[in-house]
C-alpha cells in the first residue's frame, strides 16, 4: 500500500478506493473522559499521601526513612498517565497510523514505539457499519474483544484464574472524509453482496 511500506499485500484485482490518516493533534477533551477524571482523583490521592508521609516522618528521620514518601511516585505516575498521558499517547499513535480502504478490505497500519503492525478487516465480514459524523468524523466497522486474566484466591492454597472482557470499537477514527469513506464502504459492501448472490444463483 502506497506510503505505508506494506506494498504487495493486495490480492489480484483488488483496487484501492481511499487512503488517509487520522487528523493529528491531541484531543484535550478526552481528559474529561471517565478514565481522565479517575486519573485526576488518583493523582490527587497520591500527592496527598506523599505530602502526609513526608510531614509525618519529618526531615531528621534519617536514612532510609526519608525515602518512604517516594514510594508514592509509581502511583503518581499511574495517575498522571490516566489523567493526561493517555491523550498524549493517543495523539502520537494516531500520527503514526495510516488507513487504506480497498473494494474488499479495510487496513489499519501503525508504526509506533518501534513496532509495526497491520490489521485487515474484510468488508464481507464486517458486523456493522456506523458513521460518527463531524469534522473530523469516524467510520466504525468492527468490534474487538480484549480479554485480561487475573488471579484471585478461591480458598487457602488455591488460586483461580478469572477473565474479564472489554469490547473496543475499531474503524477509521478522526478522518476528514468520514462521509465519503462511509459511502465507499457501503457501496463496496453492496457490490460484494450482489456478487455473492450472483454466484449462488
For residue 5, the model assigns a pLDDT of 58
* Domain assignment of residue 112, yes or no: no
Residues 185, 134: one domain?
A: yes
Whole-model pTM?
0.75
Answer yes or no: is pLDDT of 160 > 60: no
* Domain assignment of residue 113, yes or no: no
Mean pLDDT of the chain: 85
Percent of the chain with pLDDT over 70: 82
Q: Which helix (H) or strand (E) holds 183?
A: helix 178-200
For residue 6, the model assigns a pLDDT of 59
Burial 85-112 (b: 16+ CB within 10 A, else e): ebbeebbeebeebbbbbbbbbbbbbbee
How many structural domains are present in the chain? 2
Q: What is the mean pLDDT of residues 168-197?
A: 93
* Domain assignment of residue 134, yes or no: yes
Question: Quick one: pLDDT band at residue 186, thresholds 50, 70, 90?
Answer: very high
Nearest by Cα to 24 from 100, 136, 111, 106: 136
* Domain assignment of residue 139, yes or no: yes
Q: Which domain holds residue 89?
A: 14-95
Q: What is the pLDDT of residues 19-59, one digit of tens each?
A: 999 998 888 877 888 888 999 999 999 999 888 888 887 65
Q: What is the mean pLDDT of residues 161-187?
A: 86
For residue 59, the model assigns a pLDDT of 59
* Domain assignment of residue 63, yes or no: yes
Answer yes or no: is pLDDT of 166 > 90: no
Residues 167, 130: one domain?
A: yes
* Domain assignment of residue 116, yes or no: no
For residue 11, the model assigns a pLDDT of 86
Answer yes or no: is pLDDT of 155 > 70: no
Question: Quick one: pLDDT band at residue 188, thresholds 50, 70, 90?
Answer: very high
Residues 87, 141: one domain?
A: no
Contacts 24+ apart (CB under 8 A), 97-100: 97/21, 97/22, 98/1, 98/3, 98/4, 98/19, 98/20, 98/21, 99/18, 99/19, 99/20, 99/21, 99/22, 99/172, 99/175, 100/1, 100/4, 100/16, 100/18, 100/19
Beta carbons of 46 and 79 less than 8 angstroms apart: yes
Please give the residue that has the higher pLDDT: either 123 or 33. 123
Residues 81, 134: one domain?
A: no
Residues 69, 139: one domain?
A: no
Q: What is the mean pLDDT of residues 137-145?
A: 92
Q: How far is CA 91 from CA 28, 99, 168, in A?
A: 10, 15, 18
Where is average pLDDT lowest: 69-83, 95-109, 123-137?
69-83
For residue 187, the model assigns a pLDDT of 96
Beta carbons of 132 and 172 less than 8 angstroms apart: no
Amino acid at each position: 500500500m502506497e506510503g505505508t511500506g506494506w506494498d504487495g499485500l493486495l490480492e489480484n484485482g483488488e483496487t484501492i478506493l481511499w487512503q488517509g490518516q487520522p487528523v493529528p493533534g491531541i484531543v484535550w477533551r478526552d481528559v474529561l473522559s471517565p478514565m481522565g477524571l479517575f486519573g485526576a482523583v488518583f493523582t490527587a490521592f497520591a500527592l496527598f499521601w506523599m505530602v502526609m508521609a513526608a510531614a509525618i516522618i519529618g526531615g531528621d528521620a534519617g536514612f532510609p526513612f526519608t525515602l518512604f514518601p517516594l514510594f508514592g511516585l509509581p502511583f503518581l505516575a499511574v495517575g498522571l498517565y490516566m489523567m493526561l498521558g493517555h491523550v498524549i499517547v493517543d495523539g502520537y499513535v494516531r500520527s503514526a497510523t495510516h488507513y487504506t480502504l480497498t473494494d474488499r478490505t479495510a487496513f489499519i497500519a501503525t508504526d509506533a514505539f518501534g513496532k509495526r503492525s497491520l490489521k485487515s478487516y474484510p468488508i464481507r465480514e464486517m458486523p456493522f457499519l456506523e458513521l460518527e459524523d463531524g469534522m473530523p468524523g469516524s467510520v466504525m466497522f468492527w468490534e474487538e474483544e480484549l480479554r485480561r486474566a487475573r488471579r484471585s484466591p478461591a480458598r487457602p492454597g488455591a488460586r483461580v484464574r478469572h477473565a474479564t472482557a472489554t469490547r473496543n470499537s475499531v474503524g477509521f477514527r478522526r478522518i476528514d472524509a468520514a462521509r465519503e469513506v462511509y459511502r465507499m464502504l457501503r457501496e463496496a459492501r453492496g457490490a460484494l453482496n450482489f456478487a455473492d448472490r450472483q454466484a449462488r444463483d
